């Protein structure tokens, strides 16, 4: 039996009872439906980059999505005229590299993110001020309840910060996705992240050639140990990427944190309203502002430094970035969970913030 550790960037996880690896869309749909029709437990596995699998493995059927392929069409008159359809098993960074090579903009800041394309809408992946939601048009989705492949427009997916309706419980499988990309100038979308702007020596809101932006993003990710290369693995990159999401708290709660704690206010959207002529304009009552905090800052200021490890553990904080837990060689899922739990406890005790794990936990609990 193939250990699932060999199919994950963490390098952790025991074997599955049955491992299926369909390579075409028809095979993927047929084998997945067959799995759903059996009494065994099942797991859909993509690129294995955002998952922690138990040391005992998975007692059931694992369907590893390996379908590949991309095709582009044009929609004239659109601000983003390129429509790129991507099969779910296509490695995500290969998708970004393809768009950049063609001068198409929209996902260039998402360079270097490991995993498969099919997982991208589940997490609504994002980095350096860009999210998939800004380019996603729709997905082709094998619905668990109906057993049919349906097309779901992006607005119906409930995409938010590292979440979607798919992550919140809508069962099924992403078969393919469609992206809307710009191609008129080969320039990036406006840069929205200060660290990236500084690396490029430009201002927030500026645009640069997409190829130039991709190089800068890859360099930034490599410096943080967030660039996975299976051919030349870096011990600081044997991870599930960012292990915790940046917590979102109320503005009132954020005021109680130290003044130097990074925070990004996010105002609730005000719904549009139509008033009859001559009516009084009502007082606008706004909801409380929410504030996104830096999980990395919270971890560091809770006394957990880069490279930190519990005694006897082979799991550690990355020496390059406190937001990643890495496998230093021979780490177990139990090692990872123990360290993650310790981090959660320290941050909660110091700041009253409960960090939430970003990876999917299979057979393990925090």
- Which residues belong to the active site? 162, 242, 358
Q: Is the dihedral of CA 142, 64, 19, 360 positive or negative?
A: negative
Is-contact 330 309, C-beta < 8 A? no
| Beta pairing partners, 64 | 45
Tokens standing for 270? 């005000």
For tokens 């809101």, the residue is 205
Strand (E) or helix (H) holding 97: helix 92-101
Tokens standing for 209? 């050639």
Is-contact 99 201, C-beta < 8 A? no
The values of phi and psi at residue 127, to 5°, are: -170, 145
For tokens 């993110």, the residue is 113
Give the max Cα distance, the chain.
74
Which CA distances in Å does 344 have to 71, 243, 244, 264, 294?
A: 43, 11, 9, 21, 14
**Degrees, nearest 5: CA angle 208-210-212:** 70
SS3 62: strand
Provide the angle, in degrees to the nearest 10, between the axes of the packed helices 92-101 and 210-223: 150
> Which DSSP state fits 175?
E
**Separation CA 154–CA 134 (nearest Å):** 9
Which CA distances in Å does 173 have to 45, 90, 108, 141, 154?
A: 10, 14, 25, 6, 15
**Separation CA 283–CA 347 (nearest Å):** 40
Q: Find, among 293, 307, 318, 313, the residue nearest to 226 by Cα.
A: 318
Contacts of 100 (CB under 8 A, 6+ apart): 108, 111, 210, 211, 214
């Amino acid at each position: 039996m193939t250990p699932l550790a060999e199919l994950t960037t963490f390098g952790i996880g025991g074997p599955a009872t049955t491992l299926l690896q369909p390579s075409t869309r028809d095979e993927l749909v047929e084998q997945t439906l067959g799995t759903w029709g059996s009494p065994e437990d099942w797991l859909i596995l993509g690129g294995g980059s955002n998952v922690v699998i138990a040391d005992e493995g998975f007692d059931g059927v694992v369907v590893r999505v390996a379908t590949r392929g991309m095709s582009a069409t044009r929609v004239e008159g659109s601000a983003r005229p390129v429509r790129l359809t991507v099969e779910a098993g296509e490695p995500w960074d290969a998708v970004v590299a393809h768009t950049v090579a063609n001068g198409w903009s929209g996902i260039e800041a998402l360079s270097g993110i490991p995993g498969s394309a099919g997982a991208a809408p589940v997490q609504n992946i994002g980095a350096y001020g860009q999210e998939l939601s800004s380019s996603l048009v729709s997905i082709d989705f094998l619905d668990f309840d109906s057993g049919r492949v349906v097309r779901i427009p992006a607005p119906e997916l409930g995409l938010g910060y590292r979440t979607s309706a798919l992550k919140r419980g809508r069962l099924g499988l992403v078969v393919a996705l469609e992206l809307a990309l710009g191609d008129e100038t080969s320039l990036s979308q406006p840069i929205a992240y200060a660290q990236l702007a500084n690396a490029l020596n430009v201002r927030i809101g500026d645009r640069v050639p997409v190829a130039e932006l991709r190089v800068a993003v890859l360099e930034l990710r490599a410096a943080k140990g967030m660039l996975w290369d299976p051919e030349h693995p870096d011990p600081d990159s044997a991870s599930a990427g960012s292990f915790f999401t940046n917590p979102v708290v109320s503005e009132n709660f954020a005021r109680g944190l130290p003044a130097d704690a990074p925070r990004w206010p996010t105002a609730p959207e005000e719904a549009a309203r139509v008033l009859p002529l001559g009516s009084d304009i009502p007082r606008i009552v706004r909801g409380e502002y929410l504030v996104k905090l830096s999980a990395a800052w919270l971890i560091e200021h809770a006394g957990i430094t880069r490279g930190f490890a519990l005694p006897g553990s082979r799991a550690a904080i990355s020496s390059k970035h406190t937001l990643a837990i890495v496998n230093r060689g021979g780490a177990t899922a139990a090692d990872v969970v123990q360290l993650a739990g310790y981090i959660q406890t320290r941050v909660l005790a110091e700041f009253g913030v409960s960090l939430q794990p970003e990876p999917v936990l299979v057979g393990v609990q925090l």
